[in-house]
Homo-oligomer: A and B are copies of this chain.
């Protein structure tokens, strides 16, 4: 006997306490008892070290060593920008895919750096000692930053690693993580974009799904394949229905421990602003791409990223509008506030913090529109000029009056290095995005706003963009370089304009800085109060630091039915056949290799699957492992219901979407004729 649970599932949403499978856990604080109770398995330290040291951080994502010769598995969409970068108009590896016939054909990817997390140190106590009691919020923030800089320097010296601060629990804890960096990374294999992102932007965040979203890179050291101390073995097959799935990765950002006032501000002010801005950008990008082939290639990755962000914000915001979920957030907050109010020590610590946070958010919301729009307006050159102007302006101040990050000569040099590396857009794209950015500023701020009058001077946005870009010499890399070296270009019209914009930005930055200090201080106080009330039974919000998530392959109710837990190769061809090659902008068109390979494939082989793992953007490229620590899949997305995961985890419908390990091996073997890679992956 079974009763339909659709209505129920939609009505549930986040309960105040922790829910099975919820959590993006730091490696120092895992709910081992819960894992044991729910799945009969809790990893030991060796298991955890092995997984952590097999994982690499990609820019914006995650990967894993999967061979003793430094082979790295990640998503195609994590590698996309880099694959695009090593392509040119005669070698479009995004469109056509790439398979290195042997190691000599692997393509070095300039600029790509991977990182392995080798050390973690909790420095919260040391930082707390740096702030005397009674210090103001703003001063406390400054003191903590000074102390942190010192601790980072010490850690670097001690470990020889690249050390980064990691703020957890809204500042309730601060850690220093030490990474080993891998700077020689080469492209080994990439499937065609049309199969890696089958269904394109339409299918993004949906399931059933048929994406072969993987790519292979290799780390080299001293010109030879790197032999990592740890790499993940490949499982004999993908997961079974109900099987426990674990994964380590770098979830980027969640706001689950923030206050109700913060969530309401996102829902009502910040997110709608961001959504409108992304909407303008994607329209400008599509219009640019529509001009022709090379244009389209140039922005395919940016379009994908922008559409993705747009879809995320839209759905996150829908999540925030769910009254049941928000009521649960309000209830949990009320419970914690009540507990704090009852205890004199806690009351002294955090009794006022919720109101402080609410007031700071209200202050932010007031200037949110200007804060977002008074700036580079989509122009990479103006962004560069603003960076230069800021450096010059801070350098002119006495050290005590400078903003953090502009104190030492070394910090100034770091800024200049970043500006040297800053990506400058193709001129035609620069013009298009700048025009769109100015148009947006005019729409949002009104024609009478001082920023708008400064930028447009009575011209139409497109004309203004053309005139401003036409007048500057910063489009020339040599001019930019000599400007950074302080040799010339100080009177460039764009820099003059940037200095005027900086004046308008100044009061906005002041609000941002002051409110950030309050949010930091009181977010941390609330976190400490929560530790007191609940112990460390909660996990910190995601901050693009390494986390472990566990769950199982499981269906969920959607679209009026129960979603199938797996897709198969048969389903891939079904989708392609059902649409036909011509329908709906070719989103479900198969690459020719796949049309040709059809007869060689076992259609019942699993292709993608879903699991209850709690993930979010940044987890992309995480290998899904079994309790044996072997690769059973490769996570690449969440379903649309998980977009609200920024704020809540709903175990009934939040699902991670992964490529099945069988699909990757089958594709390498039967479609891409790469037996050498299959052999390398399966070697023990």
Contacts and interface: CB of A to CB of B under 8 A. Distances in A.
Contacts of A127: none
Interface in A279-299: 282-283, 286-287, 289-290
A603 B577 contact: yes
Interface stretch (A410-418, A444-452, A552-560): A552-560
A570 B573 contact: yes
Contacts of A289: 1
From A204, A314, A565, A571, residue with most partner B Cβ within 10 Å: A571
Interface stretch (A41-49, A261-269, A503-511, A582-590): A582-590
Contacts of A241: 580, 583
Interface stretch (A62-70, A195-203, A613-621): A195-203
Given A201-B4, A559-B558, A585-B2, A578 B603 contact: no
A604 interface: yes
A2 B201 CA distance: 11
B1 A559 contact: no
Interface string A597-616: 00000011010000000000
A564 interface: yes
Nearest to A604: B577
A72 interface: no
A16 to B, nearest CB: 26
A564 B585 contact: no
A206 interface: yes
A561 B4 contact: no
A96 interface: no
Count of chain copies: 2
Given A4-B311, A568-B577, A561 B604 contact: no
A604 B573 contact: yes
Nearest to A287: B1
A654 to B, nearest CB: 13
A7 interface: yes
A206 B2 contact: no
A570 B587 CA distance: 19
A561 B203 contact: yes
B578 A286 contact: no
A27 interface: no
A531 interface: no
A205 B557 CA distance: 13
A290 to B, nearest CB: 5
Nearest to A289: B1
Interface residues of A, number: 55
A635 B475 CA distance: 62
Contacts of A588: 564
A517 B216 CA distance: 75
A566 B578 contact: yes
Nearest to A241: B583
Contacts of A622: none
A576 to B, nearest CB: 9
Contacts of A571: 570-571, 574-575, 578
Nearest to A582: B241
Nearest to A307: B4
Interface in A1-44: 1-4, 7
Interface in A520-576: 555, 558-562, 564-568, 570-571, 573-575
A570 B567 CA distance: 12
A310 B6 CA distance: 12
A562 B578 contact: no
B575 A205 contact: no
A91 B314 CA distance: 55
A579 B565 contact: yes
B570 A574 contact: yes
A659 interface: no
A592 B319 CA distance: 44
B578 A574 contact: no
Interface string A298-322: 0000000001001100100000000
Contact of A574 (B203, B565, B567): B567
Given A287-B1, A559-B558, A565-B579, A603 B585 contact: no
B578 A568 contact: yes
Contacts of A201: 4
Contact of A564 (B4, B561, B566, B578): B578
Contacts of A202: 561-562
Chain B CB within 10 Å, residue with most, of A202, A560, A571, A575: A560
Give the 5 A-B CB pairs with smallest separation, nearest first. A571-B574, A560-B640, A206-B560, A564-B578, A570-B574
21 contacts: A1-B289, A3-B286, A4-B307, A203-B560, A203-B561, A206-B560, A207-B559, A241-B580, A555-B584, A560-B639, A560-B640, A562-B584, A562-B587, A564-B574, A564-B578, A568-B574, A570-B571, A570-B573, A570-B574, A571-B575, A573-B603
Given A571-B575, A573-B603, A578-B606, 9 more contacts: A3-B282, A3-B283, A4-B201, A4-B307, A206-B561, A241-B580, A560-B640, A565-B578, A571-B574
